Structure 1
Amino acid sequence: MPRPRSPIGAKDTMGDIYYKTYTEEQRGEAPHVSVWSLKQKDTFVEFGACRDWFLGTFPPGEVNRERARNHEGLYRAYVVGDANARSANHQIVREWHTMYKERAGFEKYMDRLLKEAQDFEQMKNKFLEEKASF
């Protein structure tokens, strides 16, 4: 009887093996550990680092859930997800300037409060000295 053929190919990376060997029954409760070749010096300016990050980011259960979708389902999920992400990004950009101004105003307010607290402590100490000499 011939031996079953392994789903792992000769050129598969550790990430390929990680995803291909996943079964919910055997490893469903194990923690997801991203399988990357990313190094600490890598940046997302380089295509390879971005691709490696994407390929190792999602747990196998999510990869399998998306793999089970038909082409129309994947297309719809992509369009809805991308539209929502871009819409949120747009709103963040619109509010960024206002958030920055609010933060700057808050920092000035905190500086003023700290100064007033210091002034109060000095006046209190002076009052206590005068009270003691009276």
Structure 2
Amino acid sequence: MKTRTATCSCGQLSVETQGEPRRVSICHCLACQKRTGSIFGAQARFPRSLVQIRGESKEWVRVGDEGSSVAFHFCPTCGSTVYYAVAGYDEESIAIPVGAFAEPGFPVPTISVYEERMHSWVGLPPEIEHMQ
């Protein structure tokens, strides 16, 4: 079973995963754009039972467009978001920003959401599922 480690920028907070992600997705919502400081968020979901968290995190909760709350866990030293969970939706999974793995060969996203907010110049893999 493949092991991957995602970390914050300073290395204090890390998440070790086992196996392949359940889902890799891209989100173009404005909240993800603000959270990442980029034009979209890319995240991978793993079963909680196959994730081990090490280090101290701070939590920030926001309510999403659909009304569900998302609990983001970030490093109190460097501020990097390392994992999060969506209340009431797939509570058996933990989402981890793909960039936290720093692995250019990470599996390709299979779904893209909130595309009505996608920047016009973004190109996506041709086989990706699209959701407005």
TM range (shorter): under 0.3
Which structure's CA Rg is the greater one?
Answer: 1
| TM-score after normalising by structure 2 | 0.19
Higher normalized contact order (CA 8 Å, seq sep 6+, divided by chain length): 2
Structure having the larger proportion of residues in helix: 1
- Structure (1/2) with the larger strand percentage: 2
